[in-house]
A = this chain, B = another copy of it.
Amino acid sequence: MTRLRADNPQGARQALAERFRAWSGSEFDLSRCPVRGVLDRLGDKWTTLIVIALSQRPHRFSEVCRAVPDISKRMLTQTLRDLERDGLIARRVFPTKPPTVEYRLTELGESLLEPLVTLIAWAEGSQTRIAAARSAFDAASAAA
């Protein structure tokens, strides 16, 4: 099995082709697609912002809460737990009073930063064209 490589523009399509054929084989099971799980997590409302915050340095619970605008404690707790469960962040409790809890990226979590930056770079570089496409599409829809 060829290792996926993204350092070659032309290779992207073919890398995907191979992956796609593997996934599309008989008895395709979505739950066995590793990308699915990752993208589902990254796509949720808060994961990315939390990972970015923690990429700078470890944060305490309330620090993350302040760093990520508008997140509720409920969702923060839940997202942190999911990330911890996936091994992307580590939770450390200091037996102080009142309690101190620190969250930091694990090595695995750090390894996500690179693909994340790649995606962010694409998003930033494409946002103008996306916005233009939206305007054009909406204008065409309205005209119809």
Count, chain A residues at interface, CB 8 A: 67
- Inter-chain contacts of A114 with B (CB < 8 A): 6, 9, 12, 118, 122
In chain A, positions 13-35 with a C-beta closer than 8 Å to chain B are 13, 15-17, 19-20, 24, 28, 30, 34-35
- The answer for the CA separation of A20 and B54 in the assembled complex, in Å, is 11
Q: Could you say which of A87, A110, A114 has the most chain B C-beta atoms within 10 Å of its C-beta? A: A114
Cα–Cα distance between A9 and B136 once the two chains are bound (Å): 38
User: Do B56 and A13 touch (CB < 8 A)?
Assistant: yes
A34 near B124 (CB under 8 angstroms)?
A: yes
Across the interface, do A86 and B117 meet the contact criterion of CB distance under 8 Å? no
Q: Which residues of B contact A35 (CB under 8 A)?
A: 48, 119-120, 123-124
Q: List 27 A-B contacts (CB under 8 A).
A: A4-B117, A4-B120, A4-B121, A6-B114, A6-B121, A9-B114, A12-B113, A16-B52, A16-B55, A16-B120, A19-B124, A20-B53, A20-B56, A34-B123, A35-B48, A37-B127, A38-B122, A38-B123, A39-B48, A39-B119, A86-B134, A87-B132, A88-B130, A88-B133, A108-B126, A112-B126, A118-B119
